[in-house]
Amino acid sequence: MRVLFAVDLEEPAGVCTEVAELATRLGADLLILHVCSPGPTVFTSADPVSGLGDLAAYALFDPELQKNLDEAEASAFENFLARSFTGPVKASMRKGLPATTILEDAEEHDVDLVILGHRHHSRLERFLMGDVASDVVNHASRPVLLMPITDD
């Protein structure tokens, strides 16, 4: 049996402990997935009348800066794993859209259960940021367990 726990590195220690204990009770391998946002994107918008863009059609991109950001994210993930899990886990970090990447990873590793932390967001927050947990639940082909995360 395999359990996939998708994390954003802000899950409280208690939630991580509960997930690890559940995986142990199930006799399951625990896979920890952290999804990073993809690299920078370039977009322009054009005035439909003049055809002129209000943003430059180019973007300044510093590969060294992206490398430093990737290294910092990897370091934060390693620190999260070290402080949150004492038992064996299989960890991976991928870039992409969170819900899509979680679902792809679940299929790729043929997991039996997907676990996500779930925070309550206002309607405005859901509208502006989206809701990864809802997207995963609505499109998953396997069981999904939402672990409530509160500010308490």
Note down pLDDT in tens along the chain; length 152 residues. 999 999 989 888 889 999 999 999 999 999 999 998 776 554 455 555 555 555 444 455 677 888 888 899 999 999 999 999 998 899 999 999 999 999 999 999 999 999 998 776 556 555 544 578 888 988 999 999 988 887 65
Query: What domains appear along the chain, each with residue ranges and CATH number?
Result: 2-39+57-149 (3.40.50.620)
Q: Enter the pTM of the model.
A: 0.79
Provide the 10 A C-beta neighbour count for residue 84.
21
For residue 89, give the nearest of 35, 32, 33 by alpha carbon.
Answer: 32
